[in-house]
């Protein structure tokens, strides 16, 4: 997701296009403009084919964006920070600052995406109905968009974690067991099973198996194969994350404690472009935190600030206690977009926890290397 183009913000949520999105966009345009319209309307102009194909592709990806926006808006309503939405070759993904804290929260957040796709399917079906379900070029476009949104909604309900259906399954298992990590592992296993089914269906279609619902061409089979491989990879990554959280939940801040962060007094003059955070201390107590430049507003405008002028109160920055587990601390750092966190006991600094030390701890475990 690193090779992405920013489209700005919508309702405060950053929107980006991954470069792989253009492949999917081109495939939709080719499907409509090179296959569907020339076959259905052989006497019409090529200009009309490609115009409607471009319109269909744009409306399809607007539909995907609305699907993801629904997830993100519900997440914000539930108090879960949203880092942004990225559209890519297989659709879209909402990047959340943390996982839901309750099963019902995840259930609602996962369900709203497919429901949005079903509503959009109904909207395009209504537009098709306004043409009396005609067979002209524009009615065919409304028909195609109605069925493609219906397909997106149904496909996302498949129990393939981390898709919406997999998250619905996890929320159900989580709710009946009370064990979040057990529910995650079981949902991941189910997701990998769905991935293998897609891979098998794709291979059978590629070799020409001609029975419903696999009566499709090799290109459709290749697409199923690629989606299955992607879902398997995403499920593997989710399982690795679950294992990592299991491991980190049993480790404390004191296991990775470090002292490699600068401590200064209030009158310390800041460099013009400080890239590392600083702790402002008095008599061994943390009285403020100077955030790194990317995390501070007005960066670079007043390079002669002192630490006391630039610091924020420590309660506005996540602080760790020595016995806090590393899974919780990593989540706090992700939410605050920090690479380190002060560890404080009774107001006194006892060290810092750095993200890279947590990652180094994980890399030494067998499950991370496998």
Domain extents in the chain = 4-249, 253-369
Strand partners, 340: 354
Report the chain's terminal Cα–Cα distance, integer Å: 23
Query: CATH assignment of 253-369?
Result: 3.10.580.10
For residue 271, the model assigns a pLDDT of 66
Separation CA 261–CA 118 (nearest Å): 51
Buried/exposed code over 245-270 (b: 16+ C-beta within 10 A; e: otherwise): bebbeebbbeebbeeebebbeeebeb
Taking the model in full, what pTM does it have?
Answer: 0.75
Close Cβ partners of 342 (under 8 Å, ≥ 6 residues apart): 261, 279, 286, 289, 314, 317, 319, 320, 349, 351, 352
Q: Decide: 235 and 250 in contact? Cβ < 8 Å.
A: no
For the purposes of burial, counting CB atoms within 10 Å of the CB of 186, is it exposed (0-12), middle (13-18) or buried (19 or more)? middle
Separation CA 146–CA 118 (nearest Å): 9
For residue 204, the model assigns a pLDDT of 83
For residue 214, the model assigns a pLDDT of 47
Classify 64 as helix, strand or coil: helix
For residue 127, the model assigns a pLDDT of 92
Close Cβ partners of 102 (under 8 Å, ≥ 6 residues apart): none
Separation CA 99–CA 226 (nearest Å): 27
For residue 344, the model assigns a pLDDT of 81
For residue 299, the model assigns a pLDDT of 46
Separation CA 206–CA 225 (nearest Å): 9
Q: pLDDT truncated to tens, each residue of the chain (370 aa)? A: 567 788 888 888 899 999 888 888 888 888 888 878 887 888 788 888 899 899 999 999 999 999 999 999 999 999 888 889 998 887 888 888 778 889 999 999 999 999 999 999 999 999 998 887 778 888 989 999 999 999 999 999 988 888 899 999 999 999 999 988 789 889 988 988 989 988 888 888 887 766 555 455 676 778 788 888 888 888 888 778 777 877 888 889 888 888 767 778 888 887 654 556 677 877 767 777 777 654 555 544 545 678 777 777 655 567 788 899 988 888 788 777 777 788 888 777 788 888 888 888 888 777 666 5
For residue 367, the model assigns a pLDDT of 67
Separation CA 99–CA 60 (nearest Å): 28
Separation CA 340–CA 356 (nearest Å): 9
């Amino acid at each position: 997701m690193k090779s992405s183009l920013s489209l700005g913000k919508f309702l405060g949520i950053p929107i980006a296009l991954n470069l792989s999105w253009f492949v999917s966009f081109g495939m939709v345009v080719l499907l409509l403009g090179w296959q569907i319209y020339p076959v259905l309307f052989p006497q019409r102009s090529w200009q009309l084919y490609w115009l409607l194909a471009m319109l269909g592709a744009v409306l399809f990806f607007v539909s995907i964006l609305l699907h993801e926006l629904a997830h993100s808006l519900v997440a914000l309503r539930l108090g879960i920070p949203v880092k942004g939405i990225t559209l890519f070759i297989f659709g879209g993904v909402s990047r959340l600052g943390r996982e839901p804290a309750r099963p019902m929260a995840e259930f609602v957040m996962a369900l709203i995406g497919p429901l949005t796709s079903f509503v959009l399917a109904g909207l395009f079906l209504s537009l098709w109905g306004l043409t009396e379900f005609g067979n002209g070029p524009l009615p065919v476009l409304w028909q195609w968009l109605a069925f493609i949104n219906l397909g997106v909604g149904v496909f996302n309900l498949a129990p393939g974690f981390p898709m919406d259906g997999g998250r619905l399954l996890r929320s159900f298992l989580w709710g009946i067991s009370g064990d979040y990590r057990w529910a995650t592992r079981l949902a991941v296993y189910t997701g990998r099973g769905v991935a293998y089914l897609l891979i098998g269906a794709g291979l059978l279609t590629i070799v020409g198996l001609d029975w419903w619902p696999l009566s499709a061409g090799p290109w459709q089979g290749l697409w199923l194969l690629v989606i299955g491989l992607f879902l398997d990879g995403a499920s593997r990554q989710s399982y690795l994350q679950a294992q990592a959280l299991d491991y980190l939940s049993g480790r404390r801040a004191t296991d990775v404690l470090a002292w490699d962060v600068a401590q200064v007094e209030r009158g310390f003059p800041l460099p013009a472009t400080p890239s590392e955070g600083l702790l402002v201390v008095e008599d061994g107590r943390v009285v403020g935190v100077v955030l790194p430049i990317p995390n501070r507003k007005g960066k670079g405008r007043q390079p002669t600030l002192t630490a006391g002028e630039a610091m924020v109160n420590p309660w506005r920055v996540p602080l760790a206690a020595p016995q806090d587990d590393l899974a919780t601390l990593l989540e706090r750092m992700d939410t605050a977009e920090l690479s380190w966190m002060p560890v404080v006991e009774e107001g006194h600094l006892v060290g810092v926890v750095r993200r890279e030390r947590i990652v180094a701890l994980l890399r030494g475990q067998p499950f991370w290397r496998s």
